[in-house]
Amino acid sequence: MAGAHNGSKAAAEGLIAKFQVGKLLKQDQQGRRITVLGTIDGEQGILIAERAAFATESLEVLQAFHAAITRVKNLGDNDIYRWYLASSNGKSQTSEETQQDLKVNLIWPCTAQHIKKYSDQQVRMVTETPDIYKQHVRPFMQAKREEGRLNWVFNILEGRTEQEDVIMRDPGHGPEDSFLMLPDLNWDRKTLSSLHLLALIDRRDIWSLRDLKKSHIPWLRYLRQRVLEATVSIYPGLEQDQLKLYVHYQPTYYHFHIHVVNVMLEAGATQSTGKAFGLENLISQLETMSGDENTSMADVDLTYYLGEASELWTDIFAPLKQGAQPSKTQ
C-alpha cells in the first residue's frame, strides 16, 4: 500500500482531480478552511482546503487584486460604513458559476482614527483603575460621543437606515428594555458556523460595561434570555448552548451592545482575553459584588489591551506610565 502512495509528483497532483467528494466534515477559520470526506479509487480520504493568504508584496499586486474584484453586491450601508459580497477571480459573469468568495467592507470617508485603528500596531496591556476611569477615560468617552461617533447607531435605532437588516425588535416591558438585533458587518449572513450578530439596546444611559450596576441584573438577565431565544428562533439550525454572548472593553463605539456568535467561531483578537467580557460572567460579577444597588463595574479594576496607535494609549495610558498627566485630561 505504501508503494502506491509514493508515485511521482504528477501522480500526486493527479489525486486531487480523482477525489470524489462525499460530505463536509468541518468548516472553520470563519469559513476559510473546509474539511471534506471523499474517496479515491474506492478508498476513503480527507481533503482539507484552505484559502491562500492575500498577496501583498507590492503596490502593483494590491492594485491587481482590486482590479479583479467583480460581481459586487451591496449587503448594506449606514453613514460611512458599507459592506459587500464580491468575486475575486476577475471574471465578469453574473451566473452562479462565478462564486462570490469575498466579504468586503468599505469605510468612506474615513478619519485619521480609522486609519490608526486598522493599521498594524503593537499592543499593550493596561490596567484601568476606577480612578483612571473617572478622571480620564470617562471624559474621553464623552468627548467621542459628542463628536457624533454614534450617528450610525442612532440611525439604526431610530429607523432611518438598515431597517431591512434588522432581524428582530423587542419592545420589552418599556423603553428601558427594548433592543434590536442585526447581523454584524463582518458576517457573510449565511454561514451559521461563523454566525455573528449584534444586539443594540435602545436606552442611551449605558455607554459601556462600566455603566452596569447591581440594579441592572434583572434587565441583563432578561436581555440575555431574549437574545438567545430570538437567535435560535431566527436560525433554527442552532440551539441556545451553541451561542456565546460577550461585550467588548474598550468597545469600538460607546453605546452598549452585545455580540452574539457561534461558539464554534474561532476566537480571533476580538474574542480574546483583554478584549471580550462574557455577558454571563459580568452578571455573576455584579451579583457577587458587595454594596447596594448603585455598586457598579465602574468600581473595579479592568485589565485589557490597547494598540499603541490608540488615542487611549497615546493620550492617557502612555503618559501615566511615564508618570505624567494625560495631555487631554489635565
| Planar angle of CA 264, 268, 274, nearest 5 degrees | 115
**CA dist 275 → 246, 267, 269, 304 (Å):** 10, 11, 8, 6
d(CA 38, CA 17): 12
Cα distance between residue 244 and residue 242, in whole Å: 7
**Distance in Å from the first CA to the final CA of the chain:** 75
Q: Is-catalytic flag, 257? A: yes
Buried b (16+ CB within 10 A) or exposed e, 256-286: bbbbbbbeebeeeeebeeebbbebeebbebb
> Using CB atoms within 10 A of its CB, is residue 128 exposed (0-12), middle (13-18) or buried (19+)?
buried
Of the listed 196, 216, 257, 259, which one is catalytic? 257
Ramachandran category for residue 89: left, alpha or beta (phi over 0 → left; psi -120 to 50 → alpha): alpha
- Rounded-to-integer distance, Cα 288 and Cα 141, Å: 27
Q: What is the dihedral of CA 254, 209, 232, 23, to 10 degrees?
A: 80
Residues belonging to the active site: 257
